[in-house]
Amino acid sequence: MQLVTLNDGKVIPQLGFGVFKVDPAETERIVSDALELGYRHIDTAAIYRNEEGVGRALAASAIPRDELFITTKLWNDRHGDADRAIEESLEKLGLDRVDLYLVHWPAPRQDRFIEAWHSLEGIRERGLATSIGVSNFAKHYLERLLPEATVTPAVNQIELHPYYQQRETTELAVAHGIKIEAWGPLGQGKYPLLELPEIMAPAAAHGKSPAQVVLRWHLQLGHIVFPKTVSRDRMVENFDVFDFELTDDEVAAITALERGGRVSEHPDDFD
């Protein structure tokens, strides 16, 4: 597995497994499958309501804790209450620390994300989260946060796929050593991304699937990704992306697909 070094010196597997919209009742089985197939980085969140299932799968796996990388996130209604929220997440996960804890959304109408960030700095200081970061922080939220922050976020987890690349936000993050985690790396299956010639042609050339080409594009651009699937076959497919390399021209053709095609809410409108 390819590892990425964060700005705090910690390392994260560049490819993981996301569990957004994984049914809580199915989560233990699905995460157990992912762990069995080699995934070691799991991305969950308090709002996904499946932290218990993730925790049960981790406990059942007997994989040493230091080989796992577990992310969870602070939900929008807990910006003033992060110290209790992380305790609740840790209890559900059955862990005494997570590897990465994120402010899930800036939630601008509440306007408490800087307060939340300071709480995460304390949580990191106390060792309850090894690294801390943000999510859905478009450029103007990073610009507000960074001058106030004692700890620079290690990551910004944002919607990012070929149709929606958030270049301004990405450039600012990179300038501050903040790694980009691309959520919805496959566009959540909401676009016919996987049928586009810019993706099908390299897939045919490399003997790979369109999804593998899109994931490879992310990896070559340095994004951290954790595609979600409940299918074991697709788990295998999505993990099998380290034995080929897109050419510079292939990467450029996929990058040129940008069209402002967001699949989910804009952070300005989401509390």
- Specify whether the CB–CB gap between 161 and 186 falls below 8 A: yes
| Number of neighbours of residue 247 by Cβ within 10 angstroms | 12
Residue 136 in the binding site for ligand NAD (CB under 6 A) = yes
Measure the CA–CA gap between 151 and 157, rounded to whole angstroms: 17
As a whole number of angstroms, the distance between CA 87 and CA 101 comes to 12
Q: Is 41 in the site for ligand NAD (CB under 6 A)?
A: no
By the rule CB under 6 A, 156 interacts with ligand NAD: no
Q: 141 — phi, psi (to 5°)?
A: -75, -40
- Interface with ligand NAD includes 187 (CB under 6 A)? yes
48 has catalytic annotation: yes
Task: Return the residue of 6, 12, 15, 19 that touches ligand NAD, per CB under 6 A.
Answer: 19
Reduced to 3 states (helix: H, G, I; strand: E, B; else coil), residue 31 is: helix
Q: Stretches 51-59, 84-92, 119-127, 186-194: which one binds ligand NAD (CB under 6 A)? A: 186-194
42-81 positions binding ligand NAD, by CB under 6 A: 43
From the list 1-9, 28-36, 114-122, 222-230, the region that binds ligand NAD by CB under 6 A is 222-230
Number of residues that bind ligand NAD (CB under 6 A): 24
Does position 169 interact with ligand NAD (CB under 6 A)? The reply is no
Task: Please identify, using beta-carbon distances, which residue of 128 and 203 lies nearer to ligand NAD.
Answer: 203
**In which residue are the tokens 């992060």 written?**
82
Q: Which of these segments, 4-12, 90-98, 145-153, 182-190, binds ligand NAD (CB under 6 A)? A: 182-190
- The SS3 call for residue 69 is strand
Cα gap 106→96, rounded to integer Å: 26
> How many whole angstroms from its chain centre is CA 184?
9
Catalog residues that contact ligand NAD under the rule CB under 6 A: 18-20, 43, 104, 135-136, 157, 183-189, 194, 211, 226-229, 234, 237-238
